[in-house]
Structure 1
Amino acid sequence: MEVGIVARKGSERAVSLAAALRDAIVDAGESVWLDAETADALGEGDRGRSVDALADCDLAVAVGGDGTFLFVARNAGDTPIVGVNLGEVGFLNAVSPADAEEAVIAEVEAFGRGEPDVREAPRLAARAGDWASVPAANEIVVQSDRRGPGAGVDYEVRVDGSRYSGGHADGVLVATPTGSSAYNLSERGPLVGPGVSGLVVNEMAAEPGMPPLVVGVDAEITVAVEGVEEAVVVSDGRNKTSLEAPVEVTVERTSPPMRIAGPPSDFFEALGKLS
């Protein structure tokens, strides 16, 4: 099998651990490579690969915080990912540095037996006409290019074709259970346990607005925007696209899901680190 390893950018500790994991996997008789930036940090730039190659691996390893895990997930397609936690919380990265070699080798061996421990988490995508967003593991936000007094959008939210809410707001956020503890939480949305098959619809600073809503994971959420020249659609806080308004943006589950390998994280233990 082939394993790709990505370390958090700018972290000597992450790069060092990535090198140790590489050596352990090679010793186990499997093929392994580092992403280009990690290889550069180790003085092995000619041996690194683009993160795009993760989609062709059997297993990916993310060494860093949840941000590193999400970066790997954006490039890994349906390749399962083991997360080694060097961050502060660790909703996605369940493996401690001390247990990293043992956990990763255990997953390599499980894949060799055809018994991988893989869980799936939904991803979202937005579409409008012929345009479609980059898939999001946390959330899709539909908003204007400005927030606060005198800004925002006029909107209407429909769920599976039925009107839920409308008015004026900074924007509308649709989150996965994974993303419920991210931007959604800062917008006073509900926490959703990882075992819940649902999506959160959360209006941001809405006038008058409705409470945040949890709907089925296969629901189709449509956000109609007017009152501005452009609507801005943001995927996981990074990928932004401006669309000419008025416009209807549909958000729904997309394939492939994010696939998480290795031991599961303790959701409630991670929540305790937020306080």
Structure 2
Amino acid sequence: MEVGIVARKGSDRAAVVAADLRDAVAAAGASVWLDAETASALDGPDPGRSVDALADSDLAVAVGGDGTFLFVARNADDTPIVGVNLGEVGFLNALSPEDAEDAILAEVQAFDDGEVRVREVPRLAARAGDWESVPAANEVVVQGDRRGPGSGIDYEVRVDGVPYSESHADGVLVATPTGSTAYNLSERGPLVHPEVSGLIVNEMAARDGMPPLVVDLDATVTVVVEDPSGAIVVSDGRNATTLDGPISVTIERTTPPMRIAGPPSDFFEALEKLS
């Protein structure tokens, strides 16, 4: 079995926790490595490896916050991920540093026994013509080049080809249940329990748009922008791509899903940290 461990960049504590986990997993007989950034932070002889290697590993470990978890997920493809939470909200990272060693060693043993269990979490992709976005675990946003008065986009939103709303707004956000607690929440969208099978359509500061809408997980959401200046499509707050208009951007569930191993996080306990 091969385990890849990635720690939050710039965090000495995360690097030390990652090194302790590396030693424990290696002592259990599994092959284990740190990413190059984490190895460099420890100033050891091991140069580490590229995060691209996560896709070929059997288990990925993210040490940090939900941002670190999402970074690992973007590079892990369908490799199961375990998250170690360093005191942040932790909707994805379920383990405390104190519990991490036992839990990850349990996952190593489960792999050896052929009994690994994972929870699959949906991801989204935006498409326009031959272009396709990086998969998003939280949300995809179709927006203008800036926010505020005098900016934004004129758009039409369709759900499975049927018109839902037409307005002017800073942008249109489509989120997974995982992403309901992220950008969507800051845009006054609804909280959605992770076990709900749906997508959120949220128009951001719309002039006269419709309320946020929850649609089926397998729905296709289309954002049509007729303006020749087009729109910018952003996945999980990064990987922004400018598309010339007029443009029709479809957003729907994609494969592979994000696969999470280890004990689940407590959704309502994490919510308490938001207040």
* Same fold, TM-score > 0.5, yes or no: yes
Q: What do the CA deviations read for 1:107-140 (whole angstroms, capped 9, x no partner)?
A: 1111111111210100000000010000000000
Equivalenced residue count is 275
Partner of 2:69: 69
**Structure 1 letter corresponding to 2:193:** G
> Structure 2 matches for 1:1-275, cutoff 5 A?
1-44=1-44, 46-227=46-227, 229-275=229-275
Contact 1:145 1:230 in 2 (8 A): no
Which structure 1 residue ranges, 4+ long, deviate > 6 Å from structure 2?
A: none
- Secondary structure of the 2:19 match is helix
Distance 1:228 1:174 in 2: 23
Report the residue type matching 2:241 in the other structure.
T
Shift of 1:87: 3.8
The SS at the match of 2:37 is helix
Provide the rounded CA distance (Å) in 2 between the counterparts of 1:40 and 1:146.
37
The whole-number CA distance in structure 2 between the counterparts of 1:48 and 1:130 is 36
Q: Does structure 2 conserve the Cα–Cα contact (< 8 Å) formed by 1:229 and 1:245?
A: yes
Alignment-mate amino acid for residue 229 of structure 2: E
Q: Tell me the CA shift for residue 228 of structure 1.
A: 5.5
Structure 1: stretches of 5+ with no match in the other structure: none
Would the aligned equivalents of 1:176 and 1:198 in 2 still touch at CA under 8 Å?
yes
Identity %: 78
Question: What is the rounded CA distance, in whole Å, between the counterparts of 1:60 and 1:191 in structure 2?
Answer: 28
SS at match of 2:78: coil
- In structure 1, give the amino acid aligned to 2:36: A
Distance (Å, rounded) in 2 between the aligned partners of 1:182 and 1:158: 23
Q: CA deviation at 1:45?
A: 5.9
Distance 2:182 2:192 in 1: 11
Question: Cα offset for 1:249?
Answer: 0.3
Deviations 1:244-275 (CA, angstroms, capped at 9, x unpaired): 01100000000000000000000000000000
Shift of residue 220 of structure 1? 0.4
Compute the TM-score of the two structures, normalised by the length of structure 2.
0.98
State the Cα RMSD in Å: 0.9
Letter in 2 for 1:148: G
Q: Please report how far the alpha carbon of residue 230 of structure 1 lies from its aligned counterpart in structure 2 after TM superposition.
A: 2.7
Contact 1:165/1:209 (<8 A) preserved: yes
TM-score by length of 1: 0.98
